[in-house]
Amino acid sequence: MATVLCVLYDDPVDGLPSTYARDDIPVIKDYPDGQVAPTPESIDFVPGEMLGSVSGELGLRKFLEDAGHTLIVTSDKEGPDSEFEKALPEAEVVISQPFWPAYLTAERIAKAPKLKLALTAGIGSDHVDLQAAMDAGITVAEVTYCNSISVSEHVVMMILGLVRNYIPSYQQVVAGGWNVADCVSRAYDVEGMQVGTVAAGRIGTAVLRRMKPFDVGLHYTDRHRLPAEIEEELGLTFHESAEDMVGVCDVVTINAPLHPETENLFDDAMLAKMKWGSYLINTARGKICNREAIVRALESGQLAGYAGDVWFPQPAPQDHPWRTMPHHGMTPHTSGTTLSAQTRYAAGTREILESHFASRPLREEYLIVDGGDLAGAGAHSYSAGNATKGSEG
């Protein structure tokens, strides 16, 4: 029987909700590209309830314990004395989330001789040292597409929030004020702007589709060019590189995976190529943007606004400068863990575990590393040999 080590974020301050704002959530059976949503044999949770925090346990306890496995759930993941590190030597499966990543570095993988499966409850596996996982023969999987639309909705919200100066206007109301001029002094229309995405995978393409009705110009850059029919349908302009694209865009959104080619991509030099007073949205990974360069660009006015919900490290320390820099719209890493998304990634996690323990092949689209090589979604997003190092440094 196996030990399953699951790292989830803390419960709400007042505990799990006793009631919820909605009685149900829409049932999503298929994704826009035709991929089937998670199809576990059964579930032991109520869709739409809090599953992603410690007490929610991704709805896994009954399933695992009925099968004789041991489930350890914790939010304590940092340092050699953490509950995560103490339990790691016995773990056959490690489950983590992008929102509260348990960084599986090469050193931690070396301390986990029984580890067979590193499973991301969500999408994005850069918190795992993929090269170390390949070398150790560990399967890395994630619940591909489960929260891609959730993130794309968050991106659109942040674009509108920054351009329309929503947060300061809301704060004016909360503070009891009514100075319309202060609210609109940094407010513009999105209509007519040029919007570009760095990477046009599932999230990036979903953002482009959602922005098209705003009557904006749409641009993208990606290592894999989209089919001509999609470019024509959405009126897209393709650019060979981010450097080529950012200078023509009023809004740039980053939707790329973290690897050596994207780490620190938006540094002082890249930001200087952007339009003066442009907006940058980053719901991908914090390390794609240089922390200090972002602050400098906002302070100088090179950027009119920066919003995102990804940081490094996560959780961000109290003194992280992105908490206090001007004209920002930062959130904790919440874009992909709505109650709707939790239902899908909990179901997908259950589906992957059912296959793992039955020695059945995992769905190809769920695979990042398999049999010592990049596979599935991992082969599309990453390059062989470019270790993510579990987001160290």
Q: Are residues 177 and 278 in the same domain?
A: yes
| For residues 247-260, average pLDDT | 95
How far is Cα 239 from Cα 120, in angstroms, rounded to an integer? 31
Percent of the chain with pLDDT strictly greater than 70 = 97
Q: Is beta strand 70-74 parallel, antiparallel or unpaired with respect to 139-142?
A: unpaired
Q: Choose among 73, 98, 70, 93: nearest CA to 83.
A: 73
In a domain, 393, yes or no: no
CATH number for the domain that contains residue 313: 3.40.50.720
Catalytic residue among 285, 327, 344, 363: 285
Question: What is the average pLDDT across 347-359?
Answer: 98
- Catalytic residue (one of 97, 131, 147, 302): 147
d(CA 65, CA 69): 5
Tell me if 319 is assigned to some domain: yes
Residue ending a domain, choose from 323, 356, 386: 323
168 with 299, same domain? Answer: yes
* Residues 6 or more apart whose Cβ sits within 8 Å of residue 359: none
Q: 347 in a domain, yes or no?
A: yes
The domain boundary residue, chosen from 290, 323, 356: 323
Closest CA to 143 of 286, 343, 334, 391: 343
- Residue 259's pLDDT is what? 85
Q: Which of 290, 302, 314, 342 is catalytic?
A: 314
- Give the three-class secondary structure for 238: strand
- For residue 393, what pLDDT is reported? 41
Residue 347: pLDDT band by 50, 70, 90 thresholds? very high
How does the average pLDDT of the chain come out, rounded?
95
For residue 210, pLDDT beyond 60: yes
* Res 381: pLDDT: 82
Same domain as 168, residue 142: no
* 381 in a structural domain: no
Count: domains in the chain: 2
> Is 285 annotated in the active site?
yes
pLDDT at 384: 65
pLDDT of residue 260: 86
Torsion of CA 45, 142, 369, 61, to 10 degrees: -20
C-beta of residue 356 within 8 angstroms of C-beta of residue 1: no
What are the tens digits of pLDDT across the range 110-136?
Answer: 999 999 999 999 999 989 999 999 999
- Is residue 261 assigned to a domain? yes
The identity of residue 390, as a single letter, is: G
Active site residue 333: yes
Q: What confidence tens digit (pLDDT) does each residue in 371-387 have?
A: 999 999 999 887 766 54
Per-residue pLDDT, 305: 98
Rounded mean pLDDT, 173-192: 97
Q: Which two tokens stand for residue 254?
A: 């980053």
Considering the candidates 127, 259, 333, 363, report the single residue annotated as catalytic. Answer: 333
Q: What is the pTM of this model?
A: 0.95
Q: Is the pLDDT of residue 288 over 90?
A: yes
314 annotated active-site = yes
Domain that includes residue 190, residue range: 148-323
Query: Are residues 190 and 313 both part of a single domain?
Result: yes
Q: What is the mean pLDDT of residues 1-28?
A: 96
Q: Identify the band that residue 389 occupies on the pLDDT scale cut at 50, 70 and 90.
A: low
What pLDDT sits at residue 388?
63
Across 143-148, average pLDDT: 97
* pLDDT of 391 above 60: no
Judgement on whether residues 137 and 260 belong to the same structural domain of the protein: no
> Stretch 165-173: mean pLDDT, rounded?
97
pLDDT tens-digit readout, 75-122: 999 999 999 999 999 999 999 999 999 999 999 999 999 999 999 999
